[in-house]
Amino acid sequence: MLAESGFDAKSFCSSLPSQPGVYRMMNAAGQAIYVGKAIDLRKRVSSYFQKNGLGPRTKLMVSQIAGVETTVTRSEAEALLLENNLIKALTPRYNILFRDDKSYPYVLLSGHRFPRLGFYRGTLDKKHHYFGPFPNAGMVRESIQLLQKVFRIRTCEDSVFSNRTRPCLLYQIKRCSGPCVDLITAEAYRDDVRDAELFLQGKQTEVLESIGRKMREAADSQEYEQAALFRDQIQALRRIREKQFVDSGKALDADVVACVSENKGNGRVCVNLAMVRGGRHLGDKSFFPQNAEGYDTPEVVEAFLTQHYLNRSVPNLVIVGEKIQRDTLQQLLAEQSGHKVTINANPIGDRRIWLDMATQNARLALEQMLSRQASQEERLQALQQALDMTGLGRIECFDISHTLGEATIASCVVYDNFAMRNSEYRRYNITGITPGDDYAAMRDVLSRRYHKVAEGEGSLPDLILIDGGRGQVNAAEEVLVELGLNDANLLGVAKGEERKPGLEQLIFPGEEKPLQLSRDHPGLHLIQQIRDEAHRFAIYGHRAKLGKARTSSSLEQIGGVGAKRRQSLLARFGGLKGVQTASIEELQQADGISRALAEKIYRELH
């Protein structure tokens, strides 16, 4: 149902049904500026057009409403789900928006006869066992290293595991028990895997008892070396347990959500999510929502829970520090996850301690973010003054990377609203130019980047930054003029004498004399930050492209090694590095590789 621009709000609202549903406030351009849900559409939409009781933010939004779209749903739960989907799809200006992160990472124990320990992110497969989710990849890798050290479970890929003829380095440094070459029995390996699973489930006491029993049995059998290994495992586990200062002693899965705001809801907001799995605190992650200024913290927490958990795994318990409307959300999350979900807004005991910790972490994260923003604002203001450019906000920076003209990559990084915007970074493969011609590469990337702007789609950034000297700036200017974008602000950053940081020269098109800012100038620090990020992003992409090209070409250039033999070699040795380090005798063991061909491959790769 749609109310057109210039509609009579009173008559429109009176025509709405008293049923649950979702409404979308539209502006004159036909864009959704706010999406909301309602138990009673008529009452909820009518409340926006009352003369009294509206806050400043809501009044501003209502002043921009040119139409209203509504969708009736069968229940409040269905309205909540539709509201969440529309907010994520439309990103309205007046809704609280949380960045929709990629799925969280897990620790994986594969379903093989000798299970593999690994990092996993994506759709879960019932054939394997997963533990988590973890708040970040670093926590997963730390857990994997810990489990390797204590339980010595393999982490190698199946292609490597199936083709080993001798134990790898991880066995030598006691990070793997060598199941690939039968240095441990299947039964003993299963025991280690079971203990690792118990540990990941928070049942550390059971693990200690299990290993202690095996240590005593080994000692009674006079297998003292094995008993010493179990003793070391017990000591390592006890040290780990001592560090788990938030261990509740119970195998509990819970998420803890705390929210703090600057200036009592009138400034920036931070939501901290702490994850507890198996009674162990796995770490936390802070979120800074968009458009949250002017909202109360309960509204922010409710928006976070809805946007974060719908269509994502959720533990049995979610602890929050705000009184929120939770019945419908609990019902939806339980239906989605297939188990009971409780949202606890009044925790006690250990759970209150967890919430207090999450609140403190949210407060610290907010203070750090505001400090960084203040520094960025100072830098941007100083740069505006130095360049005599007002209203400087969005900066796009370009860099070219190659090795003697091979695998040329151009990068574009974006700085906007006082921060680098990683999601807007782009890389461009540069082909069809003379290898090593940086000017042609710069012309190519700028033409591809801004041709749509020239056609009327999108807009130019406030400043285009080029990592390069006079030649690159001239090449960039030529492209922009050809595109009819003569009003673009263009600036080159040339490395100074001996390429030392702080001696950079800023080059303007059409001006002979470059500008050189002092080493401690905040504006120069901002330019260095953006330029270095463009360089990092370009060189990372270039190395990946170069490595891929050389990996595929090294074996392809050897006569007699076709596609099948290449596949056989790479599968047996786990990749090109394994092939390069293999002896002639080992190469000969691969399918289709004769002694003569093994010698030829060895010569070509060394």
- CATH code, 583: 1.10.150.20
Could you tell me if 258 and 353 lie in one domain?
A: yes
CB 250 within 8 A of CB 279: yes
Does residue 101 fall inside a structural domain?
Answer: no
Q: Are 480 and 568 part of one and the same domain?
A: no
What is the domain count for the chain? 5
DSSP secondary structure code for residue 203 in this structure: -
| DSSP H or E run through 280 | strand 280-287
451 and 579 inside one domain = no
| Long-range contacts, 410-414 (Cβ 8 Å, 24+) | 410/441, 410/442, 410/444, 410/445, 410/538, 411/534, 411/535, 411/537, 411/538, 411/541, 412/445, 412/449, 412/534, 413/530, 413/533, 413/534, 413/537, 414/461
Among 243, 271, 286, the domain-final residue is 243
428 and 307 share a domain?
no
CA 360 from centre of chain: 23
Which backbone phi and psi does 48 adopt, to 5 degrees? -75, -20
Place of tokens 């009518």: 46
Residue 551 lies in a domain: no
**Is the CB of residue 343 less than 8 Å from the CB of residue 330?**
yes
Joined together, the tokens standing for residue 277 give 């799995």
Residue 381 falls within a domain, yes or no?
A: no
pLDDT value, residue 335 = 87
Q: Which two tokens stand for residue 454?
A: 């020239």
72, 23 Cβ separation under 8 angstroms: no
538/400 same-domain check: yes
Where a domain ends, among 352, 367, 382? 367
Q: Are residues 153 and 12 in the same domain?
A: no
Q: Are residues 512 and 586 in the same domain?
A: no
Which residues does 280 contact at the CB level (< 8 Å), separation at least 6? 202, 244, 246, 247
**Boundary-marking domain end, from 243, 265, 294:** 243
Q: Is residue 374 part of a domain?
A: no
End-to-end alpha carbon distance in the chain = 72
The whole domain housing 597 covers 557-605
Does residue 559 contact residue 597 with C-beta atoms inside 8 Å?
A: no
Is residue 495 in some structural domain? yes
For residues 539 and 422, membership in a common domain is answered with yes
pLDDT averaged per 10 residues, the chain (length 606): 56 89 91 93 90 81 89 91 90 87 80 90 84 80 82 85 85 88 90 84 76 83 79 73 50 88 77 85 87 89 91 87 89 87 90 92 92 90 92 94 87 93 93 90 95 88 94 94 92 80 88 90 94 94 76 68 79 73 83 86 78
In a domain, 373, yes or no: no
Q: Which residue bears the tokens 């936390």?
A: 284
Question: Do 65 and 127 fall into the same domain?
Answer: no
Same domain, 79 and 39: yes
Please check whether residue 131 lies inside any domain of the structure: yes
Sign of the CA dihedral with 461 first, then 464, 465, and 467 last: positive
- Cα–Cα distance for residue pair 120/137, rounded to 1 Å: 9
DSSP letter at 411 equals E
Helices 563-573 and 522-556: crossing angle in degrees, nearest 10, is: 120
DSSP state for residue 513 in the 8-state scheme:
S
Question: Are 50 and 161 part of one and the same domain?
Answer: no
CATH number at residue 312: 3.30.420.340
In a domain, 375, yes or no: no
Same domain, 231 and 259: no
Q: Which of 288, 289, 297, 352 is nearest to 319 (CA)?
A: 352
**What ranges in 520-583 are assigned the alpha helix state H?**
522-556, 563-573, 576-581
* Phi and psi angles of residue 405, each rounded to the nearest 5 degrees, phi first: 85, -5
Q: What is the CA radius of gyration of the chain?
A: 30
In 3D, which of 115, 116, 109 has the Cα closest to residue 190? Answer: 115
Tell me, what's the pLDDT at 246?
A: 46
